[in-house]
Structure 1
Amino acid sequence: MIRDGQSPAAIDEGVRALRAGGLVAFPTETVYGLGADATSDAAVAGIFKAKGRPSNHPLIVHVAAGVKGTEALSRFAQPLPPFAQKLVLAFWPGPLTLIVTRQPGVAAAAAGGEDTIGLRCPAHPVAQALLAACAEQGVPGVAGPSANRFGRVSPTTAQHVQQEFGDELLVIDGGPCEVGIESTIVDCSRGAPVLLRPGAITRTQIEAACGEALRDKHELAAPDPRASGTLEAHYAPSAKLRLMDAKAMQTGLDVLGPYAAHIAVWSRSVLKSRSQHILQRRMPDDAAAAAQQLFAVLRAFDAEGVKLIWVETPPAGPEWEGVRDRLQRAAAA
């Protein structure tokens, strides 16, 4: 059941469901999340069950902005190192998740058994309304992975969530997600910032804000903490996805000729096909616009019943890193 996120009644309904140990899908600026009370291991278990997600794969905990967010940081995390504090000041609320050392005895299930935990303060006004209301009523944080079956394409509209879970799940509608890919994840638990998952906030922005160079994860002796969305194969459509350069794509279309079928193409380059059965969409030249469209395009291709999805490899620029990451993981599935 979809509820209008602009309605105070929808926020109240969401808070009641979360306080009762239920699940609620809610919008963020990145993708829609499947939320549960992060302090209730039983409620969090419902997320793992609904998604078919391994219980040792950590979740991100979403917190409110302002004073309630500061209180939540103290509740879930041990004191942040100075560079992490700078990132909070620079990018919260926003599409940045910090992996920090967890307070013992808090949110063990949401953390997947790790001694670290991922925390984020989303910028979406509907998410903030929900989180603020939850904090006022004893739910300091909402665990919220993407609201889809594990490993599949993330949802960027309320309708996508409903397609995944049906009418029984409460979905608070906040419109299409503005960013369109999941948050940047920075590990702050090992004394130096490490980029675990690229996103809309770039390496350059992170380094400028925290005053330190991002370290390569292989430089640090300690192993990487497990973090959401960092498996090699992830974000996959039902159709097989291949990344190709424009020349290879055009060659493939030429070879298949008029007999090409059940293939979808997403490319920045203009390609020609002699087949009437090729589904083509243009990838924006702007990285942010491409990210915003990415998951919706993959879902649309799946809905058309294609068997293969050919995607032109994005440019090598740093602003494209998040899009490249999601497509590479989708192609690995």
Structure 2
Amino acid sequence: MVAGKRTKYLKIDPRVPELHKIRLAARILNRGGVVAFPTETVYGLGANALDARAVRRIFRAKGRPSDNPLIVHIASFRDVQDLVAYLPPRATLLMQRFWPGPLTLVLPRSEVIPDVVTAGLDTVGIRMPAHPVAQALIRAARLPIAAPSANISGRPSPTTGLHVLKDLRGKIDAVVDGGPATVGVESTVLDLTAPVPTILRPGGVTYEELASVLGEVAIDPAALGEQAEQPRAPGMKYKHYAPRGEVFVVTGEIERVTAKIRALVADWQRLGYRVAVLATQETAPAYEQEPRPDHLEILGSRSRPATIAANLFAALRNCDRHQADIILAEAIAEEGLGLAIMNRLRKSAANRIIHA
């Protein structure tokens, strides 16, 4: 794409994707262009996974480090065969159980995958998205599509087409807007080349769901807050998903957490900072009395972590819109989808944790 070229904006009905718009986006991909498109997790920034020059345009548009591998998106089970050196039996089992859906499998790569896609690793992450627009686009392009999240590198991931336009207008060829993402956090990345299947990044498929199929499942330390020297999957950087304000995650018993956050709000406001709080429906009333934060985001209910996941990245972006200098986020239980939510919060905070 030529710098400054107009980014096409294609609004599509996710229930019945308009074929002429899908074909237009597919032609852009076939010509080596870069197209943002919706998945059920977040919006992806896609290019032909078999074309190294096209994939490099993704890195340039995002400002993404070249040591950060990409995920390859497919629309058919048979597409996997050409992309991997071999397919372990447990991979087939997981594909049958969780595809299409928010699970990426890390497998031995085949020679058709360019090094730029895998950051030079001998493995490749592959997933089959469940979003009907993503599936229609991959089928129309007749290509595997390499795609990270469609945002400026390191910033909160986009869950709407307008988020993508705000970050990447004029830097990419097109945005296919299929409405808001429903899961709200990226796919789970599971390494099947390790002796024990290992979660490199928690996401929309939970540890508990994977363990119910596989039995033993490990979690990489980087998914729990430690630094990854060489990222083996997207989202393993120490700081990621970060808004412009400084994020702090407050942990502990919920009554102590809300009291600590209210005290911190008062302290930072006295110093002249604008303070935002990420709360839940259960705790929101605690912040309606003085000292009130400058901005309050209610993510969802603690009894329904899927609502928190769906709203998290949009909430972080809203904190930027309200010019928050400090963002205080309540921790939630790290079970089920809570593991993925806490992974994103820790990464956005660069592991700045306050214990109440």
Distance 2:187 2:194 in 1: 20
Verify the 8 A CA contact 1:260 1:275 in the aligned structure 2: no
Q: Does 1:39 align with 2:43?
A: no
| Cα pair distance change 1:331/1:256, threshold 3 Å | closer
Tell me which of 232, 235, 241 is aligned to 1:235.
241
| Cα pair distance change 1:216/1:35, threshold 3 Å | closer
Tell me which of 311, 326, 330 is aligned to 2:344.
326
Q: Does 1:251 align with 2:263?
A: yes
Distance 1:169 1:44 in 2: 13
Report what 1:23 is aligned to: 34
The worse-fitting range, judged by mean Cα deviation, of 290-299 and 47-56 is 47-56
The worse-fitting range, judged by mean Cα deviation, of 157-166 and 74-83 is 74-83
Q: Structure 1: which 5+ runs fail to align?
A: none
Question: Shift in Å at residue 255 of structure 1?
Answer: 4.8
| Cα pair distance change 1:224/1:72, threshold 3 Å | farther
Tell me which of 192, 198, 208 is aligned to 1:194.
198
Tell me which of 79, 82, 86 is aligned to 1:79.
86
The worse-fitting range, judged by mean Cα deviation, of 241-250 and 113-122 is 241-250
Question: Shift in Å at residue 166 of structure 1?
Answer: 1.3
RMSD over aligned CA atoms reads 2.0
Q: Does 1:289 align with 2:299?
A: no
Tell me which of 297, 304, 316 is aligned to 2:322.
304
Q: Does 1:49 align with 2:30?
A: no
Report what 1:213 is aligned to: 216
Distance 1:277 1:180 in 2: 25
| Cα pair distance change 1:214/1:52, threshold 3 Å | same
Instruction: Return the letter of the residue paired with 2:24.
Output: E
Report what 2:277 is aligned to: 265
Question: Shift in Å at residue 271 of structure 1?
Answer: 2.2
Report what 2:102 is aligned to: 95
Tell me which of 97, 107, 110 is aligned to 2:117.
110
TM-score relative to the length of structure 2 = 0.85
Secondary structure of the structure 2 residue equivalent to 1:271: helix
Instruction: Return the letter of the residue paired with 2:350.
Output: A
Q: Structure 2: which 5+ runs fail to align?
A: 1-7, 222-228, 251-256, 352-356
Verify the 8 A CA contact 2:231 2:237 in the aligned structure 1: no
Instruction: Return the letter of the residue paired with 1:74.
Output: Q
| Cα pair distance change 1:59/1:329, threshold 3 Å | same
Q: How many residues align?
A: 320
Summarize deviations over 1:201-260 as a string: whole Å, max 9, x none: 111101112x33103547xxxx98711111111000011111113231022235567887
Distance 1:192 1:259 in 2: 49
| Cα pair distance change 1:254/1:152, threshold 3 Å | closer
TM-score relative to the length of structure 1 = 0.90
Report what 1:143 is aligned to: 146
The worse-fitting range, judged by mean Cα deviation, of 255-264 and 282-291 is 255-264
Question: Shift in Å at residue 83 of structure 1?
Answer: 1.4
Summarize deviations over 1:90-142 as a string: whole Å, max 9, x none: 1000000011000124232211111100001000000000011112xxx2x00
Summarize deviations over 1:128-179 as a string: whole Å, max 9, x none: 00011112xxx2x000000011111100000000000115630001100000
Report what 1:278 is aligned to: 294
| Cα pair distance change 1:277/1:251, threshold 3 Å | closer
Verify the 8 A CA contact 1:3 1:171 in the aligned structure 2: yes
| Cα pair distance change 1:217/1:257, threshold 3 Å | closer
Verify the 8 A CA contact 1:104 1:115 in the aligned structure 2: no
Secondary structure of the structure 2 residue equivalent to 1:72: helix
Summarize deviations over 1:305-325 as a string: whole Å, max 9, x none: 111111111223333000000
Secondary structure of the structure 1 residue equivalent to 2:194: coil
| Cα pair distance change 1:71/1:262, threshold 3 Å | same
How many percent of aligned residue pairs carry the same amino acid?
37
Report what 2:224 is aligned to: none
| Cα pair distance change 1:71/1:266, threshold 3 Å | same
Instruction: Return the letter of the residue paired with 1:307.
Output: D
